[in-house]
Amino acid sequence: MPKKARKESRYERQILLKEWDQQKIRNGKVFIAGMGALGCVVALDLVLMGIGKLIICDFDTIEKSNLSRQMLFQESDINKSKVTVAQKYLIDLNPDVEIIAFNKEIQEVNPKIYEESDVIVDGLDTFEARRWLNSISVDKNKPLVHGGMYGWLGNVQVVIPFKTPCLDCQPLLPQERLQKPCTPPGKKRKKTKKVKKAPKMPSLLTISTIIGGIQAQETVKLILGVGKLLDNFLFYDGLSQTFTLMKLNQNSNCIVCGKNRIKGVDFSVDPRDTVRDLKDRLIMTLDIKEPMKVIVKGIIRNDNVKLNKIGIQNKESILIINKEMAKPLKIYAILHEK
C-alpha cells in the first residue's frame, strides 16, 4: 500500500464526517500549557486525530500520584520531565505529528511561539499562570481554550480575543482552595526556585477526561471553523451528572481585553501617597497581584518613595508590571489630594 494511503487510513473514520477537513487538521498548530491531567487528555486526543504540530510546555517532573490520572506516564517515568516523557509517548502514538516540548515555565517561552499557534490550550493548575496565559492569548490575538477542575467539578471556557469575555472579564474568580496547584512543584523547579509547598488538590481521571475531551473538541472546531463554539462558561458537576451554562459578559473596562488595554487606565492618585499606597489601591480596584513593579519616569520605584518626591505630574503615565500580565499595564495619574 502506498505511504499516502497508509496515512489516510489512520483517519478514515473521522474523514467520513461531512464537516471534516483532514488537511486543516494537518496544518493546525496548537500550544498546550501544562501537561497535567487536562493537558495529557487534550494532547492525546489531538495527536490521535493527526494535528500537524503540537507544542507542549511544562516545568514539572512526574510523581507517583500523577499516575492515577495523567495517562501519558507510567511508574518507570517517576522523577523524569513531564514534557520529555510525553513527547516520546505521543510520537510513538502517531509519528505523523510534529511534537515540540518546552521544559520551562510558560512565561519563559519565546512570544513568537504563541504567535505561530492557531489555538492555545490552558491545562494549568494555578490561577496566576492562567491569568498570564489569558493575557498573552489576548495580546497575540489567539483563541484560548481554558479548562479547570476540582474533585468532582470541572469547567471550560473558550476565549476569542475581543469577541468573547476573557478570563479577566468574568467575576468567576476562584476561591482560595481552587488556586492551589494539583501537585507541589516538580523536583527541577524546587532546585531552581524557592516555592511554597501547597496542599494537593483532589483530582479524578474521569473528570479530567470529560473536561479535557471538551477542550480538545473545541480546539478542533476552532481549527476546522465548524460548529457553534462554546460562548458561555460551562460548569460540570460529576456527582449530579449535570452541565450548567452560565452567560458571561465582556467587560469594556477589562485591563486585558477592554478598551483600557489600548489607551491605558485613568487612575486617581494622591501625590502625597507612597508607591506602596498606590500598589495597595491597584490590588483592591484592579485585582493586580503581588509581586508588582511600579515604573515612573522609566525607573522602578521603591515602596517607601512618595509620589510627589518623584515629581509626578497630572496625566503622567505609570507602568505596572506583575507576573500575571504578559505586558505592562499603563495607568495615567489623575492627581488629587484627600
Rounded-to-integer distance, Cα 273 and Cα 307, Å: 6
Q: What is the DSSP string of 303-315?
A: TT-BHHHHT--TT
Tell me the β-bridge partners of 181. Answer: none
Rounded-to-integer distance, Cα 143 and Cα 118, Å: 7
Q: What 3-state DSSP class applies to 225?
A: coil
Please return the burial class of 134, using the count of CB atoms within 10 Å of its CB with bins 0-12, 13-18 and 19+.
buried
Element (H, E) at 279: helix 275-286
Residue 257 annotated to the active site:
no
Cβ-based neighbour number of residue 2 at 10 Å: 7
Rounded-to-integer distance, Cα 176 and Cα 81, Å: 28
Rounded-to-integer distance, Cα 11 and Cα 94, Å: 11
**Closest by CA position to 55, among listed 108, 8, 7, 121:** 121
Among candidate residues 166, 169, 182, 257, the one labeled active-site is: 182
Main-chain dihedrals φ then ψ at residue 233, nearest 5 degrees: -85, 115
- With a CB cutoff of 8 Å and minimum separation 6, the contacts of 2 are none
Query: Which residues are marked as active site?
Result: 182
